[in-house]
Amino acid sequence: MTDEFFLDPQLVRRSFDRASRTYDADAAVQGEIRTRLLERLDIVRLQPSAVLDLGAGTGQASRELKRRYPSAQVVALDSSLAMLRESSRHQRFLRKFMPVGGDAHRLPLQSQSFDLVLSNLLLEWCHDPDAVFAEAARVLRPKGLFMFTTVGPDTLKEVRELWRGVDPFTHVHRFIDMHDFGDALLRAGFAEPVMDTERLTVTYPDLAALLGEIRGSGARNLAQGRPHGLTGRARGELLRARSEQLHRDGPMRISIEVVHGHAWSVGERKPRRAGEEVLVPFESLRARRKY
């Protein structure tokens, strides 16, 4: 049976390739979430010698990671080579990071080569988060930290409501619940995953402003069940009418459910299947750095 929410990696890459030059100007929400993710490093007792920015985009987080850890090697990995080319604008002469093209599902990196893997808003674009977690676990050294953000099921719920009854197609991606991500971290062999969420509300003057930001940041609807071809005039007018009705008392208010997660590596091990018991060596727990 066809999965209407499947994301083709090639389509994802092409979408961000096209948006590479407009991304920084239109990704205000992504930038705010990135700032909140990086702030969480302030309370982590970690001095990494090698850091991986997984899904680095235009390299803004990579630049900040290099500022925080000037003696560390920082690798900025992304599947979009166009985005990585744009990352050159965020390089600093004495604090350069290393751009690397690659798929997060199959990292072109050696095992146990990083102390910190950080990922901002990548997982919602991955068709197999379990594979991404397994690869993050593989490249982390023992006692290394994996820290990430993604978005949860309440994200863009107002957009879902707008399209309800307009047509039968998929207009918003399927966003995974944070508890399922916690289970996936355990399956990948991580120890003591911690998950939490925060809610953001972003306002837009109208529907056109929201859609313009989505297009400019590359965060367009790429689900397999999306409508193909142009939106017909009748459907477009109905959508605008519904938008005006739902937001007639002020600007559009759009919900973003931000999911934060982190977990510690206990060394390379085989990922477990769902339902299997997780065995974590006591020594690794006793030695783990604390928040």
The answer to whether residue 5 scores a pLDDT higher than 80 is no
Residue-range domains of the chain with CATH: 9-152+175-198+258-287 (3.40.50.150)
Digit-coded pLDDT (tens) for 159-202 = 887 767 666 566 677 899 999 999 999 999 999 999 999 999 99
Please give the model's pTM, rounded to 2 decimal places.
0.84
Digit-coded pLDDT (tens) for 128-170 = 999 999 999 999 999 999 999 999 999 988 888 776 766 656 6
pLDDT (0 to 100) of residue 229: 52
pLDDT (0 to 100) of residue 283: 40
Please choose, from the candidates 52, 80, 103, the residue with its C-alpha nearest in 3D space to the C-alpha of residue 265.
52
pLDDT (0 to 100) of residue 93: 84
Strands ordered across the beta sheet of 191-204: 98-101, 73-78, 50-54, 114-120, 140-151, 252-264, 191-204
What pLDDT band is residue 106 in, cutting at 50, 70 and 90?
very high
pLDDT (0 to 100) of residue 6: 80
- In three-state form (DSSP H/G/I as H, E/B as E, the rest C), the secondary structure along the chain is CCCCCCECHHHHHHHHHHCCCCHHHHCHHHHHHHHHHHHHHHHCCCCCCEEEEECCCCCHHHHHHHHHCCCCEEEEEECCHHHHHHHHHHCECCECCEEEECECCECCCCCCCEEEEEEECCHHHCCCHHHHHHHHHHHEEEEEEEEEEEECCCCCHHHHHHHCCCCCCCCCCCCCCHHHHHHHHHHCCCEEEEEEEEEEEEEECCHHHHHHHHHHHCCCCCECCCCCCCCCHHHHHHHHHHHHHHCCCCCEEEEEEEEEEEEECCCCCCCCCCCCCCCCCHHHHHHCCCC
The answer to whether residue 274 scores a pLDDT higher than 70 is no
pLDDT (0 to 100) of residue 164: 73
- 86-115 CB burial, b ≥16 within 10 A, e <16: bbeebeeeeeebebbebbbbebebeeebbb
Give the bridge partners for 92, in sequence order: 95
Q: Which residues touch 255 (CB under 8 Å, ≥6 apart)?
A: 154, 155, 156, 157, 158, 199, 200, 201
Q: What percent of the chain has pLDDT over 70?
A: 79
Digit-coded pLDDT (tens) for 44-83 = 989 999 999 999 999 999 999 999 999 999 999 999 999 9
